Every structure is written in C-alpha cells, then in structure tokens.
Amino acid sequence: MRLIALLLACVAITVHAGQDYQLSPRQIAEGTWLLEGSTDNFAKANGGNIVNTGFIVTDAGVVVIDTGPSRAYGEAMRRAITAVTDKPVALVLLTHHHPDHVLGNQAFSDLPIAALAGTRKLLDEQGDAMAENMYRLVGDWMRGTEVLLPSQTLEPGVREIGGHRLRLLGLRGHTGADLAVLDERTGVLFAGDLVFYQRALTTPNSPGLEAWLADIDSLEAQPWKVLVPGHGPISQDSAPFAQMRDYLGWLDGLLKEAAGRGEDMNEVIRAPIPQRFASVNLSRYELIRTVSHLYPKYELARMPRVDGAEQ
C-alpha cells in the first residue's frame, strides 16, 4: 500500500510540474517587462498561454498589464514579478474582458484591478461562460479559477504613477471596450488585442471592422517606440499596423463581396487565404469564426427593406 501511495504521489507531482507556466520576463524598455505567449490556439499543451502580458516597475510600485488565462498563470506572474523587483504591485490594468487576459485576476485580488466600464460589464455578462469554455479547452490548468471583476473603473486620459505618465486610450474595435496603454516615459504601447501580429485576429465581440480600422489609425498616430500586441511578437516599426490594416481590409472586402453575391456561410469560409498572409497563424480557423460572428451583419446590409425605405 505504501508503494502504491508513493507512486500516486509521484504521478501527482509530475502532473503538477508539467503544468508550470515557466514565465520568463523579458525586459523591453526601462523598467518594462514582457511575458510573451505563443501564437497558437488554446490547448492543454500550453495551458491557454497564448497572450502577451506585461508589467512596468515604477517608483510607486508595479503596474501590471493583464493577468493571463488562469489563476495559476496569475500566481506565476506574481512570482515572475518578484524575481525582477522587490517593489510591490500597485495596480492592475485590464485591456479588455476576454478570458486569456483576465482570468488570472484572483492572483491579484488584494490589489486595485482597473478596467473600462464596458470591460467590467462584458466580463460580468460573459465571464462565467468564457471560464467554463476555458476549462473545456485547457483542463486542469484552470483548477481553482473563477471570474473576479475589476474593482475600479477607468476613464480614458492620463494617469501618473511613480514617474511614469500613462496615457489610457479608450477604443472599441475588438470588443466595444478596449484599453490601450502608452507609457510616455518609455514609448512602450501596450495595444491589447486591438493589434494581433503574425496571428489571425479574433472577432467575437467586435462592433465592426470599420471601427477596428479606425482604432488602428488612432494607435499608430501615438508617439510610441515599442509596440506590444495582444498576441504575437513586439515591434519597433509599423509592420504590425500594416499587417492589421491589410488583414482587416481583406476581411471586410471578402465579406462585402460574398454578401453581394448572395453566398452562404459555408461558401465564405472556404474562400482562399491570400498568400501574403501565409505566415499569419490560424488564419483559416479564425476566418471560420469571423464568418460566424460578422457575416450576418453583411448579409443584412445587402437585404432590401420590404417597405421600400432606405436602410
């Protein structure tokens, strides 16, 4: 019996060890650190670590940008911060409500967690369902994870924290409530999921691709030096913005033209992916999802009103 118990304990330890996020902060500017996720889809192999999170070490404490996909990720993030600095975490900023960015909130429950009002509302409405879906996708990585709502509401504007002037930008293209954070001291722009780079964008809550394109213009016009996308590698040039603008424009044109021809969803999802997007991971997978999310709006826009009035 003792041997069996010992073997079971060893198995449990091995399983637990295999679920270590092994977060390795990488410094990208003065006092600014990145935790870079993969550009893959959610899977048990990665524990949902497909997201870029980060933190800024200021004189008044650490500012965290997003908390990751699970309680375990958030806890690993706090350990990673401690390995870099002995300054306490002062504030958590959430860029939007999607699960890979906010389900680590429990690890920061003793601290102010701030988000736009719309982000809090969407997380309150959709959080439990998203968390349940994450459990299905990544399994035991989610153990103990529950939705924790932000404790503070952010207004767009400028916030001074410990010698860092943070410009808080309230935008809407990805979810209807999207926060981007520009540190004016270093020029680091945390764009959240308004920018995907070398990974196809997701559209489940987007109010429309035209709104998203307008946000890309607004972000690119900021005085940034280092761009941190929500997914994909960081950049010091405008390549991510160019790719986003090209990709969004292609999607918009594809959906408009398909609706004009009266194609159904099954036809649209089989549309060829342009060769220039060959390096963009998950393009086919996300096209299928985008068609389900947005194509009905394009179809509706092409339908004449039965009363003859203009739409």
Question: Element (H or E) spanning 181, and its range?
Answer: strand 178-183
Using the 8-state DSSP alphabet, how is residue 88 labeled?
P
Distance spanning both ends of the chain, measured CA to CA: 75
Average pLDDT over residues 47-71: 98
Question: Element (H or E) spanning 266, and its range?
Answer: helix 265-268
Please write the tens of the pLDDT for every residue from 209-233. 999 999 999 999 999 999 999 999 9
The amino acid that residue 77 corresponds to is M
pTM: 0.92
CATH class of the domain comprising 14-238: alpha beta
Inter-residue contact 58 to 67 (CB < 8 Å): no
In this structure, what token pair is assigned to residue 108? 């920061």
Average pLDDT over residues 17-26: 83
100 burial type by CB count under 10 A (0-12 exposed, 13-18 middle, 19+ buried) = buried
Domain ranges of the chain: 14-238
Q: How many CB atoms lie within 10 A of CB 51?
A: 25
Please write the tens of the pLDDT for every residue from 247-290. 999 999 999 999 999 999 999 999 999 999 999 999 999 999 99
pLDDT at 49: 98
Could you tell me whether strands 226-231 and 188-196 are parallel, antiparallel, or unpaired per DSSP bridges? parallel
Average pLDDT over residues 154-158: 98
